Structure 1
Amino acid sequence: MAAAQSTHQQGSVLKLVLELGPLITFFLVNAKALDWGFADLAPFATLKPDTVPIMAATAAFMVATVAALTVSLAIYRRVPVMPLISGAIVVVFGGLTLYLQNDTFIKMKPTIVNLIFAATLLGGLAFFKRPLLAIVFGSVFQIDDEGWWKLSMRWGLFFLLLAALNEVVWRNFSTDTWVTFKVFGTMPLTVLFTLTQLPLLQKHAVEGSALAAEDAGNEKG
């Protein structure tokens, strides 16, 4: 039992590192690019000094994202759909940023990703009459159809909110402020929103699921 718990915890830590690693790399390189001599490297030597940090950070972000997806594939033999879509857009928009030397593309990347997720979830409810979130997480959470509908609707609206926030920040604040928000604003907001959905998961847990058992145990306690 203890060995299984330890293995589970190690797996959770690894998943967290794979998810946060590229973002932390993005933040650190943007903050330290000039101190670390990126301006002297061939790809960035011809750029204006004030554009070197975001360009170097974008390149590092792309490499770290591909590395994280590769490690995930090697260890778990699969890559979750959402990180895969996000990673593909990082490569495309990061490539455009570096090729055109225009950081607008990498700044718009979170907007595009969140709009895709929102359109998928809300479109699934509106046009296909199906909570598509159940397809992705059906093996993780055992909840009834009403729960999946509510959860898909809430996440769809939350992704719209994230897209709007990203647009407001990158269009009205400095690049450094946007990078800080991307790393230390978006993730805490997502974690907080996820925690607020736990009552819904417990309320709509199907009988016999882990959540239902946990809820029953809490009631007895």
Structure 2
Amino acid sequence: MTEETLPPAVKLEGKKKLPFWIDFGPLLMFFAAFHYLKRNNPDDALIWAAGVLAVAAVAALGYAWLKYKHTSPILIFSTFVIGIFALAAFIFDDKRFVFMKPTVMNAIFGMGILGGVVFKKNVIKMFMGSAFELPDDKWKILAIRWAIFFFAMAVLNEVIWRNFSENFWANFKVFGFLPLTILFTASQIPFMTKYGHMKTDE
């Protein structure tokens, strides 16, 4: 997925896993564009960098489809949200749309995962079930943990953009959220290995 991440990509049944740069490449372009534009146009650099992110995300999505003949619903959804918030920032000339996009996206992911638990459509199992086997009650616990994590990420984004500098927020967006996601994912490995196991290719 693009940006503020779900669990690390898992190969879909019968489909090749998309390379990591399709998710992270557009973010690096956002980071580079922001710091480059900030030198001459500090007031509007964030909005223009959001536009670069949107274009790069669309390009990465198109490349994934042309090259691998498939993509993921999460990648499509996140690209759509990126585009909508970048467009709103341009139209209203308001950086708050850029700042709040991670909050909204993480909150939607959290609600989607909890909704999946309620309606017995476990999203985390859908993403990771092709590679890992767990009892259904453990998948439920794992999904709730991921939902809480996404809500925490949404709150963290609000705290950072409202209390720290624009430069700090932009840096944290690229080099803060991803490491936190990796650390959280690693923290769940003992639980998963205790109650389940990796699937082996037949």
* TM-score, scaled to structure 2: 0.84
In structure 2, the partner of 1:121 is 113
Structure 2 residue 20 is matched with structure 1 residue 16 = yes
1:18 Cα deviation (Å)? 1.2
| One-letter amino acid matched to 1:155 | W
In structure 2, the partner of 1:162 is 153
1:146 Cα deviation (Å)? 2.2
Rg larger for: 1
Confirm or deny: 8 A CA contact 1:146 1:204 kept in the other structure. Answer: no
* TM-score, scaled to structure 1: 0.77
1:61 Cα deviation (Å)? 0.5
SS in structure 2 of the partner of residue 78 of structure 1: coil
Structure 2 residue 105 is matched with structure 1 residue 101 = no
Going from structure 1 to structure 2, the CA distance change for 1:102 and 1:167 (only over 3 Å counts) comes to same
CA distance in 2, matches of 1:18, 1:84: 12
In structure 1, the partner of 2:34 is 30
SS in structure 1 of the partner of residue 43 of structure 2: helix
Relative to its length, the structure with more helix (as a share) is: 1
Total equivalences in the alignment: 187
Aligned partner of 1:187 among 158, 171, 178: 178
Q: Deviations over 1:73-109 (max 9, x none)?
A: 1222222222222111000001101111111111111
Aligned partner of 1:209 among 179, 187, 199: 199
1:118 Cα deviation (Å)? 0.4
Gaps of 5+ in 1: 1-7, 40-48, 212-221
1:130 Cα deviation (Å)? 4.3
Q: Deviations over 1:136-158 (max 9, x none)?
A: 33223222212211110110000
| One-letter amino acid matched to 2:180 | L
In structure 1, the partner of 2:3 is none
Gaps of 5+ in 2: 1-10
CA distance in 1, matches of 2:180, 2:38: 30
SS in structure 2 of the partner of residue 210 of structure 1: coil
CA distance in 2, matches of 1:181, 1:34: 16
In structure 2, the partner of 1:84 is 76
1:19 Cα deviation (Å)? 1.2
Percent of aligned positions with the same letter in both sequences?
34
Going from structure 1 to structure 2, the CA distance change for 1:178 and 1:34 (only over 3 Å counts) comes to closer
Q: Bigger shift: 137-146 or 148-157?
A: 137-146
| One-letter amino acid matched to 1:164 | V
1:34 Cα deviation (Å)? 4.7
Aligned partner of 1:61 among 10, 28, 53: 53
In structure 2, the partner of 1:111 is 103
SS in structure 2 of the partner of residue 197 of structure 1: helix
CA distance in 1, matches of 2:56, 2:23: 10
Q: Deviations over 1:103-143 (max 9, x none)?
A: 11111111111011100111222x32442322233223222
Confirm or deny: 8 A CA contact 2:130 2:199 kept in the other structure. Answer: no
SS in structure 1 of the partner of residue 44 of structure 2: helix
